Each structure stands twice: as C-alpha cells, then as structure tokens.
A and B are shown apart, each in its own frame.
Chain A
Amino acid sequence: MADKHTQNYQKVPLQVTHGYLVASIQVYLDEHMLAGFRDDLLSEIRDSDIDGVILDVSGVSIIDRTSFASLMKIRSMISLMGTRSVLVGIKAGVAASLIDLDVDLSRVDAVLQLEDAFELFDGETGHLETIEEEIDTEPDEEQVALIDEGAIEDE
C-alpha cells in the first residue's frame, strides 16, 4: 500500500467521434482517478478541435456527493475552455441515490444514450429556439391582469 499515491490511475478511454470527444468512464470514481481524468481530458480538449464532450458514466455504479461535485467541477472547467458537455447513461440506482443525497441538479445536462448526446449536440441551436418560443408564448403577469380586466368588462 506504500505505492498507492504513486500508482497510475485507471485511464479513461478518450475517443473523438463525429467531432465530439467521448470519455467512457468505466471505473470507480475516487479523488485520484478524477484528478488524472480531469488533466487528461482538459489537455485533450486543448489539443483537439472538438465541438463537445460526452461524459459516458454508464459503467459507473456509484456516484456519491464528493464524486458528483468533482464531476460538476470538471464540467465547469470544460465550459470555461469554451466547449459544452453532457452526461450519458446515469444508472437508475445512481440517479435515485443522488436524489436521496439532495445534490444540486440545477446544472445537470443528461441523456440516456450516446446517440441522444450526438443528437442533442447536433441539434442544439434548434433546441434552444424551441425553448425561447415556449417562453415567449407564456403570458406574463401584466397580460394576465389585462385578460382579467377584460373579463370584468365583458360582464
């Protein structure tokens, strides 16, 4: 156990597919592994011309508060480097546990399968337009007030 700080962490395969970087995380997420992964990932982003990072966690059986926070930090770093990222394939038990642990999910983007991640990134612009339209059609408080006044006048 003397060499535990010097041992290499289990490498996460990084592969560029359709212009996106796919990281297939299939190992236990400890601090050491996550630090090595973060460094490898950020250098890969710096060195390759990619349009997004796909973090495939379908092989991860446990994400606790600490490793979840580390993953979110890595996502923030990816974002600071000017690219986007998405989590793919969170297991049912991991999702259920994260809800029980009450972690902050407000910044989580996740899809079920790898293909969904490609689709999300490919169609991201269209996707954003749809959301804006939805917001536009929602009546604000003033409009609601006007409608209410109109109803009174009708009587």
Chain B
Amino acid sequence: MKTNELRFHIASEFDVKLAVLQAGKFASAIDSNETVVQKIMTTVSELAQNIVKYAGVGHIHVRKICRSDIVVIEIIAEDTGPGIRNIELAMGDNFSSGGTLGLGLPGVKRLMDEFHIESNAKDGTSVTAVKWIHDK
C-alpha cells in the first residue's frame, strides 16, 4: 500500500484555513474533478472547525491511499477533547441541520463516501472520512 500524507496541527482559525487550502491543492493533484476537490475542502473545514470549537486543539491528516481496486483520499480528524457524549444523537440530522449548531457530522458523511467515528471522554474524538477517487 502506497501512501502520501499531509499532517496539520489545528488550534486556530488560521490553522483551519491553511489545512483547507493545502488539502485542496493535495486533492486537485490527485483528482481534477473540481466538485470532488471542493467537497474534500469542505470536509476538512467542517472537521477542523469542530476541533477548534469543541476540543481547542487537534490534528488533521490528509492522505492518498492506493487500495487494490481504487485510489482514495482519507481525512482523519483527531483530538483529545471532551469527546462526544452521544454519537447517535450527533449523527442524527435533527441535531445538526440548519445553521451552525451541532457538529455537522451528517453533512460530512454525505460529502464523503466512507465515514467512521470513535469518541469517548477519555481519548477524545477521531473521525475518519474517505472519498473514492475513480480515475486511478
């Protein structure tokens, strides 16, 4: 498995902007489809802003992974913040639709092709979101 990775320390809005723009460059070098690139940038923005807003500090990893059948871009957002008390609730649309309340996680799930979240009060939160890139 071949990988190619970016890693960002996220602690301020300035860090969010840097991560979003760099992730955009990274993604457009892999996939020329503008919509795919913009969805990846939006995902990084939403996840990085959650880190700043709810955990204070954390990391974003963006990497290209060549699977046997497909190339994907994987975004991992992790922090050691307070964790999400009720993941089911956070993943429900009622909790987060409309405005900027909630974590916007259902939105991130729709933006991407794979979505996985782990969260507890002890370790914090880790969100993995994957976009399939079709032209290998």
| Interfacial chain A residues near B97, Cβ < 8 Å | 102
Neighbour of B111 across the interface among A4, A63, A97, CB < 8 A: A97
Indicate if A100 sits at the interface (CB-CB under 8 A).
Answer: yes
Complex Cα–Cα for A94 and B99 (A): 16
Question: Restricting to A60-113, which residues have a CB under 8 Å from any CB of B?
Answer: 61-66, 69, 91-94, 96-97, 100-104
**In whole angstroms, what is the CA distance A65 to B100 when docked?**
6
| A28 CB to nearest chain B CB (Å) | 6
- Say whether A103 contacts B98, CB under 8 Å: yes
A28 near B21 (CB under 8 angstroms)? yes
Interface positions, chain B 54-112, Cβ under 8 Å from A, are 93, 96-100, 104, 106-107, 110-111
Interface membership of B17, Cβ < 8 A: yes
| Chain A, range 1-60, C-beta contacts under 8 Å to B | 1, 4, 28, 30-32
B26 to nearest A CB, angstroms?
14
Query: Which residues of chain B come closer than 8 Å to A1, judged between CB atoms?
Result: 14
Which of B12, B42, B98 makes the CB contact (< 8 A) with A97?
B42
Interface size class of A (residues with CB under 8 A): 20 to 34
B6-61: which have CB < 8 Å to A? 12-14, 16-17, 20-21, 24, 34-39, 41-42, 45-46, 49
Please determine whether B14 and A93 come into contact, CB atoms closer than 8 angstroms: no
In the complex, which residues of chain A have a beta carbon less than 8 angstroms from the beta carbon of B46? 64-65, 101
Collect the chain A residues with CB atoms within 8 Å of residue B49's CB.
64, 66
Would you call B13 and A69 a contact (CB within 8 A)?
no
Question: A102 near B98 (CB under 8 angstroms)?
Answer: yes
Minimum Cβ distance to chain A for residue B53 (Å): 9
On B, residues with C-beta under 8 Å from A are 12-14, 16-17, 20-21, 24, 34-39, 41-42, 45-46, 49, 93, 96-100, 104, 106-107, 110-111
Chain A residues within 8 Å of B, Cβ to Cβ: 1, 4, 28, 30-32, 61-66, 69, 91-94, 96-97, 100-104
Q: List 26 A-B contacts (CB under 8 A).
A: A28-B20, A30-B14, A31-B13, A61-B37, A62-B38, A62-B41, A62-B45, A63-B42, A64-B42, A65-B46, A65-B100, A65-B107, A66-B45, A69-B100, A91-B38, A94-B38, A94-B42, A96-B35, A97-B38, A97-B42, A100-B42, A101-B104, A102-B96, A102-B97, A102-B106, A102-B107
